[in-house]
């Protein structure tokens, strides 16, 4: 009786409080739902026992997709326009918001998928290469009441590096923000090709400030724009502070008129930023300094590269930083959102974060001070760099948890569908430098394993905070890197790349300003297009955040849409995207090169159900519950050039049948 009375009291309190508390429980207000990610919602209408009954509830199509980009028959890249639909929607105050690859922001009814409005920034697509957008952000002005214009704003960026403030009710720009609702993020970057700097990740919001980074094109030049991170007033668009990621002893650059010019070629923050309002800290996952595979010119400019960097939210001053790779020449930048969780250690609750990496390592840090939760040790790594380069003699290795992916490629275990292509893979992997993780790029050609697309990538982990389980997807693929002396860089790719080092989808990257260009094979593949390392090529892993132990590890996906019959039942597929977890103990993930959304048991890793998509779902799904109590799971299915899945524009929602 007392329990019943208590529940009735809570329900009455929630009802009297209004919709905000209920909305907080059921909405998905940010890219990773929380300000520190996690991709977790307590919703439990969909359970392990009924998830198999999910059915398609609605589909929304923006029309924004383009199939152009592809790998040619000679395995070189054709850089014509293509889209990759990577957005994770948000749901706030009864409306779903997402961005299309053409950077349109679209508002939908979350129950029906009907369109409410569309904001079109009218970007110029010519020369942009691969168009994508991972999400938008939301801010509500608590000092205003509805229907005050721009009380609720959607904050978005574009591949043309503009920052927008959009009225969430109408889709109109908020005129008092910046110049007519826009802020130009190219200010202070100096002259540059617009294709070399762009913004694709949703900004973070803390203390009525928008925190935004930017992407810098890989392996173009030492003189690309810098990776400055800036804070803007969310109401006015005025610049509040900036963090230029240069060595603490370096003097900031100024222009001829005394104006601030951000340092060029610095590490950038292209992935998802986290914020902790209680600690008043901003957490940045940084990339590596340009270009990726040679750093002889850096002279300390990569002091903050491939790191988690904590800034004071009021000033932008560095509070601490933890480097996951020293002097990174492997493109092992930190790819995913620093993800929050809590752990009890020695009788104390520690505010922590988990950082997944392309190496397959998970670094677990105290987010107050950056100290590792479990020891991280410096271990010797292979040496012998190209002339002009200087490598770090050691690299940091977390002692717990164990790596999520293998870090050594044995040529004797090379894989192939036939004796012929298996022999090819064995020969290629045996002819390049191959000394395990952190084998340096070389003139001979070097094994890169895991490759620069992971291990783990931008999809990041999900954290079931009820069970303290971290779930993360990884890839198990190899690639090769060959350094080409500058005087030879004008030769054709087929002249520079014998089969012994090409081994897959290859490109020449110019690295202007350095003594070398780079021949990079993005996948070490056989002539039949098969990865040269043994399957599984993709995994889903559950980690116990209290102990650091692997709870389970299962192959993720199959080769159904990657390989012909009879090879399409191989378990474990290449994947890009991320997982989402629910309070009922479910993990949802698409991500794979086969076209499915899957549901797993978060405690055991058992696959419970799968649902066919129109193309690859290379995004992170999300979930929400409507006012009527109906739970939806939503995934963007838009393909990905690197996964071989065709481009599309399908935003697909699943739910249990309405009559059940």
Q: If you search the block for the tokens 């790998």, which residue do you land on?
A: 71
Paired with 623 in beta bridges are 633
Cα separation values, 424 from 228, 416, 428, 501, 520, Å: 44, 8, 6, 11, 18
Encoded tokens for 108: 């939908």
Report whether 637 contacts 616 (CB < 8 A).
yes
Task: Name the residue among 56, 174, 53 with its Cα closest to residue 119.
Answer: 174
Paired with 34 in beta bridges are 37
Encoded tokens for 654: 């699943």
| H-type alpha helices, 448-587 | 493-496
**Where in the sequence numbering do the catalytic residues fall?**
331
Task: Decide: helix, strand or coil at residue 52.
Answer: helix
Cα of 80 vs its chain's centroid, Å:
23
Task: Name the residue among 191, 222, 365 with its Cα closest to residue 288.
Answer: 222
Task: Name the residue among 472, 658, 652 with its Cα closest to residue 580.
Answer: 472
DSSP string, 131-166: E-----EEEE-TT--TTSTTSEEEEEE-TT-EEEEE
Encoded tokens for 212: 């935004």
Contacts of 362 (CB under 8 A, 6+ apart): 354, 355, 356, 398, 401, 404, 461, 470, 472, 543
d(CA 542, CA 461): 10
Paired with 473 in beta bridges are 540
Q: If you search the block for the tokens 């996690």, which residue do you land on?
A: 38
Task: Name the residue among 98, 162, 153, 95 with its Cα closest to residue 124.
Answer: 162
Give exposure, 441-466, as e/b (b: 16+ Cβ within 10 Å). Answer: bbeebbbbbbbbbbbbbbbbbbbbbe
Phi, psi of 4 (to 5 degrees): -65, -40
Task: Decide: helix, strand or coil at residue 403.
Answer: coil
d(CA 67, CA 60): 19
Encoded tokens for 402: 């164990």
d(CA 38, CA 338): 9
Q: Where are the beta strands (DSSP E) in 246-367?
A: 253-254, 260-261, 274-276, 281-285, 307-312, 318-323, 339-345, 348-356, 362-366
């Amino acid at each position: 009786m007392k329990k019943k009375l208590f529940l009735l009291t809570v329900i009455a309190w929630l009802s009297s409080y209004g919709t905000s508390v209920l909305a907080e429980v059921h909405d998905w207000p940010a890219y990773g739902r929380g300000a520190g990610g996690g991709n977790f919602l307590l919703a439990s209408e969909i359970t392990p026992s009924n998830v198999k009954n999910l059915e398609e509830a609605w589909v929304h199509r923006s029309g924004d997709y383009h199939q152009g980009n592809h790998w040619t028959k000679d395995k070189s890249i054709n850089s014509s326009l293509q889209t990759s639909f990577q957005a994770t929607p948000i749901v706030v105050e009864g409306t779903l918001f997402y961005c299309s690859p053409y950077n349109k922001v679209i508002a939908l009814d979350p129950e029906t998928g009907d369109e409410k409005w569309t904001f079109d920034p009218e970007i110029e697509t010519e020369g942009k290469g691969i168009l994508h957008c991972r999400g938008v952000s939301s801010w509500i002005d608590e000092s205003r009441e509805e229907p005050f214009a721009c009380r609720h704003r959607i904050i978005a960026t574009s591949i043309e590096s503009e920052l927008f403030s959009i009225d969430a009710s109408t889709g109109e720009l908020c005129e008092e923000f910046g110049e007519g609702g826009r802020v130009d993020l190219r200010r202070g970057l100096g002259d540059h090709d617009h294709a070399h700097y762009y913004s694709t990740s949703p900004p973070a919001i803390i203390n009525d400030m928008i925190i935004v980074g930017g992407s810098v094109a890989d392996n173009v030049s030492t003189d690309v724009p810098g990776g400055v991170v800036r804070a803007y007033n969310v109401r006015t668009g005025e610049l509040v502070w900036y963090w230029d990621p240069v060595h603490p002893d370096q003097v900031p650059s100024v222009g001829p008129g005394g104006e601030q010019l951000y340092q060029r070629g610095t590490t950038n923050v292209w992935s998802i930023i986290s914020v902790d309002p209680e600690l008043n800290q901003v957490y940045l996952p940084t990339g590596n300094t340009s270009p990726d595979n040679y750093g002889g010119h850096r002279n300390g400019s990569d002091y903050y590269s491939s790191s988690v960097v904590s800034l004071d939210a009021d000033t932008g001053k560095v509070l601490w930083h933890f480097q996951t790779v020293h002097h990174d020449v492997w493109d092992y930048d930190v790819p995913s959102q620093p993800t929050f969780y809590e752990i009890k250690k020695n009788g104390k609750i520690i505010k922590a974060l988990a950082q997944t990496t392309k190496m397959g390592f998970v670094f677990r840090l105290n987010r107050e001070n950056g100290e590792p939760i479990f020891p991280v040790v410096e271990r010797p790594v292979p040496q012998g760099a190209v002339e002009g380069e200087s490598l770090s003699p050691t690299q940091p290795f977390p002692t717990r948890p164990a790596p999520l992916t293998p870090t050594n490629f044995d040529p004797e275990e090379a894989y192939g569908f036939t004796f012929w292509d298996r022999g090819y893979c064995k020969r290629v992997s045996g002819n390049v430098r191959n000394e395990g993780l952190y084998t340096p790029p070389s003139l001979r050609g070097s094994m890169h394993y895991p490759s620069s697309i992971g291990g783990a990538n931008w999809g990041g982990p999900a954290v079931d905070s009820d069970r303290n389980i971290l779930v993360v997807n990884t890839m198990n693929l190899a690639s090769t890197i060959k350094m080409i002396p500058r005087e030879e860089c004008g030769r054709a790719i087929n002249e520079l790349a014998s089969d012994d080092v090409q081994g897959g989808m290859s490109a020449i990257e110019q690295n202007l300003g350095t003594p070398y260009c780079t021949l990079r094979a993005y996948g070490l593949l056989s002539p039949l297009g098969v990865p040269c390392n043994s399957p599984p090529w993709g995994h889903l892993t559950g980690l116990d955040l209290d102990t650091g132990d692997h709870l389970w590890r299962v192959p993720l996906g199959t080769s159904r849409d990657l390989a012909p019959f009879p090879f399409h039942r191989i378990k474990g597929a290449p994947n890009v995207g991320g997982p989402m977890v629910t309070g009922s103990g479910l993990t949802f993930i698409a991500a794979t090169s086969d076209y499915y959304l899957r549901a797993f048991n978060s405690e055991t890793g058992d696959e419970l159900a799968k649902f066919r998509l129109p193309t690859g779902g290379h995004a992170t799904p999300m979930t929400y519950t409507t006012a009527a109590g109906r739970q939806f799971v939503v995934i963007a299915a838009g393909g990905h050039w690197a996964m071989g899945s065709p481009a599309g524009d399908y935003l697909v929602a699943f739910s249990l049948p309405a009559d059940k």
